[in-house]
Amino acid sequence: MLRKEQNDLLTQTGPETPMGRLFRSYWVPALLPEELPQNECPPVRVKLLSERLIAFRDTNGRYGLMDEFCAHRGISLWFGRNEECGLRCPYHGWKYDVTGQCVDMPSEPEDSGFAKKVKLKSYPLIERGGVLWTYMGPADSQPPVPEWEFATVPAAQSFTSKRLQESNWLQAMEGGIDSSHVSFLHRGDLNSDPLFKGARGNQYNLSDARPVFEVVESSGGLYIGARRNAENGHYYWRITQWVMPSFTMIAPRGDHSIHGHFWIPIDDENCWTWSFDYHPTRALTDAEVAAMRAGKGIHAKVIPGTFRAVANKDNDYLIDRAAQKAGRTYSGVEGFAMQDSSLQESMGPIVDRTKETLVSTDSGIILARQRLLRAVKAFVETGATPPGVDTVHQRVRSAAVVLPPDQPFKDGAREAMIAHPGVAPASV
């Protein structure tokens, strides 16, 4: 459990909140490139960390992300005209470039120079690895560009999707490091989902339904190891990476792609669930990409033209009680993504953590919260750079390995948990 003030501190990410300031230390995913598919395409409304923004791609292909509202009369620039290297407000013609600088003000005398004094708050927006990233912190503290491995491999080796999740970011992220739920909620899908089935490790999962967990601090966050019995007294380990504040990477299965998530606050009651799949040494097959687009694996099928899942809280996630009773799915909801999301959204927009009854298998969640609380305190009080900003913390991998019984997985899988370009992942 958390005290109310601790829960508030971790779940509130608006401007000037402690957690909001911490989130603004990182490059965070903002949009998919396909949302701004060509120069002078329509602008896109973006809400991140409780700030309403507008994203656009100008005549020369430069990306802009700035305050959604015109400095003049507060018109939403979503109605703007994207033309001649700027976004022009249709009300009185004020025009802004990708930095938010007002470059034309037709209602003022041509040489008044007043336009130069008007600048909307803006943030950098860069394309890297199939994601448009933004950094919303102080310009003089901008960190190096992201080095997460999925964003550095060739485009053919990676696939990324995003989905609206109608809950606070923290309860979504906590689901990503709650390894003990997999044996229950997702048990029906390991041998049927095309992005998971066929791996030898699945048999360890299914033959030992009572894994033992080890949680180990890492420099960027935590390693969460789930241990099951393997042959000859050895242990089969599935090691999840959590890197602050909201990156998780799930252990791979066989030669399937590696996958993971970011959970990025939209506001305090909604977040974006970003889901990536990549393979360090080969291109994803057409069948794999088709499955991901169809919502298999950790991805979700969304309503066309939106990022809201087809199965959502307005239709009770299309729960199938017959499938639940027959054991085809454990909860009756189909697919890993919505199995998780349905339950996390059911907690309410911001779960009241003063009322939890945590048990020892929740130790990963407990430790993650404590690491976040410490990082926020150090950041606010001393300006300490939080874990996860350093790109060394980003060059990590999850791993699935078989190790001798007395070996710490942090030791036995040391190299496997580092992203070495071109090296195959440790997977069973």
Partner 1 sequence: MSSAAEARFRIQTPNPTSRVVKVISLDTASHHEIATLVDEVPTADLVVMVASAGADAHAAAIIGEACSLKHVMTTTLVIHAASATDEALSKTLAQVRPWSLMVVIASDEAYVEEILRSFR
The answer to whether the CB of 237 falls within 8 A of the CB of 401 is yes
* 362 to 401: interface string for partner 1, x by CB under 8 A: xx--xx--x-------------------------------
> Could you say which of 67, 68, 166, 193 contacts partner 1 (CB under 8 A)?
166
Q: What is the 8-class DSSP label of residue 256?
A: S
> Could you say which of 75, 85, 145, 216 contacts partner 1 (CB under 8 A)?
216
CB of 355 to partner 1, least distance (A): 6
The answer to whether the CB of 70 falls within 8 A of the CB of 169 is no
> Could you say which of 213, 310, 318, 324 contacts partner 1 (CB under 8 A)?
213
CB atoms under 10 Å from CB of 214, counted, come to 17
324 near partner 1, rule: CB under 8 A = no
Stretch that binds partner 1, among 90-98, 150-158, 255-263, 358-366 (CB under 8 A): 358-366
CB of 374 to partner 1, least distance (A): 9
**Which residue type does 170 have?**
L
Q: Please name the helix (run of DSSP H) or strand (run of DSSP E) that holds residue 213, with its range, or none.
A: strand 212-217
> Could you say which of 39, 229, 361, 385 contacts partner 1 (CB under 8 A)?
361
In a 3-state reduction of DSSP, which class is residue 201?
A: helix
Q: Round to whole Å and give the CA distance between 360 and 319.
A: 30
Q: In the window 242-271, what residues touch partner 1 (CB under 8 A)?
A: 269
The answer to whether the CB of 150 falls within 8 A of the CB of 158 is yes
The answer to whether the CB of 91 falls within 8 A of the CB of 113 is no
> Could you say which of 83, 217, 255, 415 contacts partner 1 (CB under 8 A)?
217
> Could you say which of 352, 420, 421, 424 contacts partner 1 (CB under 8 A)?
352
**Which residue type does 393 have?**
H
The answer to whether the CB of 263 falls within 8 A of the CB of 246 is yes
Q: Round to whole Å and give the CA distance between 85 and 354.
A: 51
The answer to whether the CB of 283 falls within 8 A of the CB of 154 is yes
184 near partner 1, rule: CB under 8 A = no
The answer to whether the CB of 337 falls within 8 A of the CB of 299 is yes
CB of 76 to partner 1, least distance (A): 24
360 near partner 1, rule: CB under 8 A = yes
359 near partner 1, rule: CB under 8 A = yes
Q: Round to whole Å and give the CA distance between 319 and 38.
A: 39
315 near partner 1, rule: CB under 8 A = no
**For the chain, how many helices (H) and strands (E)?**
11, 19
> Could you say which of 110, 382, 411, 422 contacts partner 1 (CB under 8 A)?
411
CB of 110 to partner 1, least distance (A): 50
209 near partner 1, rule: CB under 8 A = no
CB of 149 to partner 1, least distance (A): 25
CB of 350 to partner 1, least distance (A): 8
Nearer to partner 1, 84 or 352 (CB): 352
Token pair 């919502």 in the structure block, residue: 295
CB of 360 to partner 1, least distance (A): 4
The answer to whether the CB of 169 falls within 8 A of the CB of 246 is yes
Stretch that binds partner 1, among 76-84, 189-197, 210-218, 386-394 (CB under 8 A): 210-218
Nearer to partner 1, 201 or 364 (CB): 364
Q: Round to whole Å and give the CA distance between 305 and 297.
A: 21
Q: Round to whole Å and give the CA distance between 211 and 145.
A: 37
First to last CA, the chain: 35
Nearer to partner 1, 34 or 231 (CB): 231
CB of 372 to partner 1, least distance (A): 12
What is the contact surface with partner 1 in residues (CB under 8 A)?
A: 1-2, 166-167, 212-217, 269, 313, 345-350, 352, 355-363, 366-367, 370, 405-408, 410-411
